[in-house]
Amino acid sequence: MSRSVTILGATGSVGRSTLDLVARAADRFEVVALTAHRDVAGLAELARRHRPKLAVIGDAGLLGELRAALAGTGIEAAAGEGAIADAAASGAEWTMAAIVGTAGLKPVMRALEGGRTVALANKEALVSAGALMIQAAAASGATLLPVDSEHNAIFQCFDRARPESVRRIILTASGGPFRDWPIEQMRAATPDQAVAHPNWSMGAKISVDSATLMNKGLELIEAHRLFPVGAEAIEIVVHPQSVIHSLVEYVDGSVLAQLGAPDMRVPIAHTLAWPERMETPCQRLDLVAIGALAFEAPDPVRFPALRLARETLAAGGAKPAILNAANEIAVASFLERRLGFLDIASLVGEVLARFDPPAPTSIDAVLEIDGEARRVAAALTGKIHA
């Protein structure tokens, strides 16, 4: 029997990669709903190709354009944030949560409340609202599967039946494009240099996060939410080849690692077929061609984002949401050349120091904290100097 599938954020790279895999095993999957933020042409093209029952565009003003693009197909068109949340709650057996940013929080929560399987590619869900998301999944009986390559690797290696047997989790980081740069050279780094990731093809924002290692800081928080180990048992190791995606060490000294080509279709396929496996077109790993794997400790002086993330995780409450929001404003300012590269972490640290609201108890409260943190960060932009 086929598995029903909804994809939130269908026109992004994760969404398109998911649909590529679905199309290659069309007899195994039925697409129920596809959503996008403003890319009407992209959404309509995907809807015509994959024939979902429903296509939803986030910008309500684009509903007419979407309906015109889908005329004669029999595919229902809808628009607005509420319609995207409704699509998330449409009852699909498997939902890909790939909406970028805090816009994905409410749809992810609706999907989790449905009690089915949610494949999570939205970092903000677990960083900003992790406790609420985990509680919702537990209450509904939903299965939460991580799509990020690092967390998916941990998921594949982690003994969920005996978590007490795990000694530590090791998150691997490529080190980004500035791994070997001296700090003075990093100070003058440009957006073009920061987005030129050596291994992965990613969007500008996540590429900058990789360059600052803030992505590893966010992943540290995510890992703590997803897996029952203490923050002190989660380590970060720089691994430039990006072949080992993460490792799990057990109390007997055994270390399990998941290896693979740097292609997001590998972890997506794992979640899409879970608990089974499915074929992918991804490049097969050639260990002889790779020859050697290197590892090194991250430099806390050149990459202070890791310290900020650990301090944020230790503080708990609203701090992770503030970290995420402030970082988004700082990265956007850097990409607009209004902030220096080393100023990104400085700005985030300043916002964390200035803003300390109570812990959020709802998604609306998380969004309020997120909005205020962004306002504080925007006001500080231009005043921060590394």
| Every domain of the chain and the residues it spans | 3-146, 152-315
Output the pTM of the full model.
0.92
- Classify 230 as helix, strand or coil: coil
Adjacency order of strands within the sheet including 255-259: 234-238, 166-173, 244-250, 255-259
Which is it for strands 166-173 and 234-238: parallel, antiparallel or unpaired?
Answer: parallel
Q: 208 and 145 in contact (C-beta within 8 Å)?
A: no
Residues 6+ apart with CB under 8 A from 320: 127, 128, 130, 221, 312, 313
Q: Based on C-alpha coordinates, what's the Rg of the chain?
A: 20
- Read out DSSP for 240-262? TT--EEEEEEETTS-EEEEE--S
Query: What SS3 state is found at 118?
Result: strand
Cis peptide before 275 (omega within 30 of 0): yes
Q: State the burial class of residue 230 (Cβ atoms within 10 Å of its Cβ: 0-12, 13-18, 19+).
A: exposed
Q: What is the pLDDT along the chain (386 residues), one digit of tens a residue?
A: 799 999 999 999 999 999 999 999 999 999 999 999 999 999 999 999 999 999 999 999 999 999 999 999 999 999 999 999 999 998 999 999 999 888 899 999 999 999 999 999 988 899 999 999 999 999 999 999 999 999 999 999 999 999 999 999 999 999 999 999 999 999 999 999 998 866 666 678 888 999 999 999 999 999 999 999 999 999 999 999 999 999 999 999 999 999 998 899 999 999 999 999 999 999 999 999 999 999 999 999 999 999 999 999 999 999 999 999 999 999 999 999 999 999 999 999 999 999 999 999 999 999 999 999 999 999 999 766 43
CATH architecture of the domain 3-146 equals: 3-Layer(aba) Sandwich (3.40)
End-to-end CA distance of the chain: 57
* E strand map for 111-233: 117-120, 143-146, 166-173
